[in-house]
């Protein structure tokens, strides 16, 4: 079952073996149980409507006449019917003419007129070169907190800079962080898809998850994926499309919901994540500029970020089902139907194989826990901590994902009979790598742009200018916090890395707000709100183009505008809702986290 072919082309599955929901045919919605009953009460229209609007789980080669109803009665996929959205309308229905819809449509059209994302990075690279040459002679008054010297823009068009650009090109490409993360993780995931383990797991997941809770469940998984650094972009986002497609909903809505949870809710997590101590280190160093010895707990924002998970789930659920999905009803899925998977009932052999695979995964996790448990474990940081960026365990997340998919997949394959030799395992890896051709090209140009932009110092200059302006305004505490959030959102459009932005902004924001009586922990919480909310709408974020690629596996004409128009409602809702939540949290005096404070001193 070529599940991963939902994202990447190539499959040997024949057309008549494909299970297609109604919107894949470009016709009306499949019948819900309520709709079927109404049709029957209205004069036996159930049979005729079932012929035109096949329910999810029905095959493309539908029977006709009285056999259609009998086929429906015994369909092995009838359980999937509960996922039908109660407000589904035919794809041929006209799109809403509301102001919001017209605005998002305009953004989509404008964004899709942009060049191919790879060329967009080339254009951006040229702009950075020219801008650096123009700004380099200018002397700026702002002090760079990294070296305590006046900020300066570095000209990238000098002979030495161009020579460095050429000599480092290969190194910049192969060390581009998202590239290695994606490829290594997909080696394991590709085998799991090739042997059928992912398909079996999705079947089980869809049959135990109530249909109305599918969206919040997906967003929650996206939020929890932050514990594994950037792995959620590789695993959760594409699987969101698969799960929604199998549930009879538009796959782009699933990708959008998953992307919102993984990236838009980046600072919302029920479990402490590596980002917590990473940001805390910068915050504490910045606070000690004014108060030597000032300590900031790594979990100083934990209560706030953990409770924010429910907020992100609720807002994401609302936006997905009230804004995103209605707009997508007029967007046909035009991917090659020969690449779409089947979701029939699992056979007894598949169930045994899935049990063996899951037990293998549990066993590996237990071994990992036992290896990490000792206080002097090699998986811990020198100071004995596990959940810090310097711990070998945190640095091994992607290789662990590779192994935790690969080993259970091999066990599943041998039990299910889909793996007969080591050649089948290598074939799965090869197919997974073959689907990444376009992304590798995209990553090449993205890496070159990111490196040049960082070396030019233009992003740092913009950040410092914004912070200086905010400081000069001298606003009240609550408005200042809102200003911190807004400045962060704007800087986030230029600098994607959360730690890189905070390394620049914390030495300015933290002491500045301490001088007006606001604690470092509150400043850090405001930064996290602004940083997360706009992650999902900046094309310069390394995983944004990858998400566009995922969308194109369902809707071939999808582009930057398609994804941006889908994610903008999430971004706006998260920014407004999360800001209000932080201010309410502050007004109620609820602790932000361990050893946290709102005021200074």
pLDDT digits (tens, 9 = 90+) for 237-262: 888 888 888 788 899 999 999 999 99
Average pLDDT over every residue of 60-75: 36
Average predicted confidence (pLDDT) for the chain = 77
- Which residue is listed with tokens 């004014």? 290
More confident residue, 11 or 146: 146
Q: Does 211 have pLDDT greater than 50? A: yes
Share of the chain above pLDDT 90, in %: 28
Average pLDDT over every residue of 42-56: 35
How does pLDDT run across 72-93, given as a tens digit for each residue?
433 333 333 333 333 333 333 3
Q: Does 19 have pLDDT greater than 60? A: no
Q: pLDDT band at residue 58, thresholds of 50, 70 and 90?
A: very low
Q: pLDDT band at residue 528, thresholds of 50, 70 and 90?
A: very high
CB atoms within 10 A of CB 42: 9
Q: Residues near 115 by Cβ (< 8 Å), separated by ≥ 6?
A: 123
At 580 the pLDDT is 97
At 207 the pLDDT is 72
Q: How far is CA 198 from CA 363, 413, 419, in A?
A: 18, 11, 14
How does pLDDT run across 452-466, given as a tens digit for each residue?
888 888 877 876 776
- Which residue is listed with tokens 């449509």? 105
At 323 the pLDDT is 92
Q: How do the domains of the chain map onto residue ranges? A: 99-170+442-588
At 401 the pLDDT is 80
More confident residue, 304 or 208: 304
Alpha carbon distance 484, 7 (integer Å)? 38
Q: How far is CA 262 from CA 314, 377, 581, in A?
A: 15, 30, 20
Q: pLDDT band at residue 470, thresholds of 50, 70 and 90?
A: low
At 78 the pLDDT is 38
Average pLDDT over every residue of 434-461: 82
Q: Does 394 have pLDDT greater than 70? A: yes
Q: Does 352 have pLDDT greater than 50? A: yes
At 309 the pLDDT is 94
At 38 the pLDDT is 38
At 568 the pLDDT is 92
Mapped onto helix, strand or coil, the DSSP state of residue 599 is strand
Q: pLDDT band at residue 338, thresholds of 50, 70 and 90?
A: low
Spatial CA neighbour of 166 closest among 156, 176, 175: 156
Mapped onto helix, strand or coil, the DSSP state of residue 136 is coil
At 526 the pLDDT is 95
Average pLDDT over every residue of 406-417: 93
Q: pLDDT band at residue 118, thresholds of 50, 70 and 90?
A: confident
At 76 the pLDDT is 34
Alpha carbon distance 279, 178 (integer Å)? 20
* pLDDT winner (highest mean) among 7-16, 206-215, 423-432: 423-432
The answer to whether 219 and 316 are in contact (CB under 8 A) is yes
At 98 the pLDDT is 67
At 230 the pLDDT is 67
Which pair of structure tokens corresponds to residue 342? 């089947």
Share of the chain above pLDDT 70, in %: 76
Q: pLDDT band at residue 339, thresholds of 50, 70 and 90?
A: low
Q: Does 8 have pLDDT greater than 70? A: no
At 16 the pLDDT is 32
Q: Does 367 have pLDDT greater than 90? A: yes
More confident residue, 396 or 366: 366
């Amino acid at each position: 079952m070529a599940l991963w072919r939902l994202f990447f082309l190539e499959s040997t599955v024949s057309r008549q073996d494909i299970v297609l929901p109604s919107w894949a045919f470009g016709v009306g919605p499949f019948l819900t149980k309520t709709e079927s009953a109404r049709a029957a009460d209205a004069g036996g229209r159930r049979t005729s409507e079932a012929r035109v609007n096949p329910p999810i789980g029905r095959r493309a080669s539908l029977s006709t006449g009285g056999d259609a109803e009998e086929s429906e009665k015994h369909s092995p996929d009838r359980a999937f019917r509960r996922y039908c959205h109660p407000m589904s309308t035919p794809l041929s229905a006209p799109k809403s003419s509301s102001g919001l819809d017209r605005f998002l449509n305009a953004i989509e059209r404008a964004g899709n007129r942009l060049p191919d994302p790879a060329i967009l990075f080339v254009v951006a690279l040229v702009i950075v070169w020219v801008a650096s040459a123009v700004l380099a002679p200018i002397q700026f008054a702002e002090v760079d907190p990294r070296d305590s010297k006046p900020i300066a823009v570095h000209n990238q068009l000098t002979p030495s800079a161009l020579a460095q650009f050429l000599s480092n090109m290969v190194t910049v490409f192969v060390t581009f962080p998202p590239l290695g993360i994606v490829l290594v993780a997909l080696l394991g995931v590709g085998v799991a898809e090739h042997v059928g383990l992912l398909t079996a797991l999705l079947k089980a997941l869809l049959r135990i998850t109530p249909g109305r809770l599918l969206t919040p469940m997906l967003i929650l998984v996206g939020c929890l994926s932050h514990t594994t650094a950037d792995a959620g972009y590789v695993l959760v986002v594409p699987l969101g499309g698969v799960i929604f497609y199998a549930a009879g909903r538009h796959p782009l809505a699933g990708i959008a919901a998953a992307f919102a949870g993984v990236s838009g809710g980046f600072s919302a997590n029920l479990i402490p994540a590596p980002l917590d101590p990473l940001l805390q280190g910068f915050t504490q160093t910045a606070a000690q500029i004014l108060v030597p010895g000032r300590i900031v707990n790594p979990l100083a924002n934990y209560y706030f970020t953990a409770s924010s998970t429910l907020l992100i789930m609720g807002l994401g659920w609302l936006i997905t089902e009230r804004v995103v999905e209605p707009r997508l009803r007029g967007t046909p899925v035009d991917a090659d139907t020969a690449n779409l998977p089947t979701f029939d009932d699992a056979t007894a052999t598949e169930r045994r194989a899935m049990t063996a695979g899951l037990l293998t995964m549990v066993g590996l996790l237990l071994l990992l826990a036992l290896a990490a448990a000792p206080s002097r474990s090699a998986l811990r940081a020198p100071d004995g901590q596990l959940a810090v960026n310097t711990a070998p365990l945190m640095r091994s997340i992607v290789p662990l994902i590779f192994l935790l998919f690969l080993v259970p997949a091999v066990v599943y394959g041998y039990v299910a009979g889909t793996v007969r030799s080591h050649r089948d395992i290598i074939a799965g890896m090869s197919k997974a790598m073959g689907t990444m051709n376009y992304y590798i090209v995209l990553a090449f140009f993205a890496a070159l742009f990111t490196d040049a932009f960082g070396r030019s110092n233009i992003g740092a200059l913009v950040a410092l200018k914004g912070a200086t302006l905010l400081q000069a305004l001298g606003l009240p505490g609550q408005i200042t916090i809102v200003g911190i959030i807004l400045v962060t959102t704007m800087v986030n459009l230029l600098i994607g890395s959360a730690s890189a932005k905070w390394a620049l902004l914390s030495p300015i924001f933290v002491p500045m707000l301490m001088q007006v009586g606001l604690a470092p922990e509150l400043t850090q919480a405001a930064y996290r709100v602004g940083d997360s909310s706009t992650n999902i709408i900046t094309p310069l974020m390394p995983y944004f183009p990858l998400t566009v690629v995922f969308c194109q596996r369902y809707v071939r004409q999808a582009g930057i505008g398609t994804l941006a128009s889908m994610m903008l409602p999430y971004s706006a809702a998260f920014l407004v809702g999360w800001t209000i939540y932080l201010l309410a949290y502050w007004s109620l005096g609820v602790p932000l986290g361990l050893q946290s404070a709102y005021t200074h001193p």
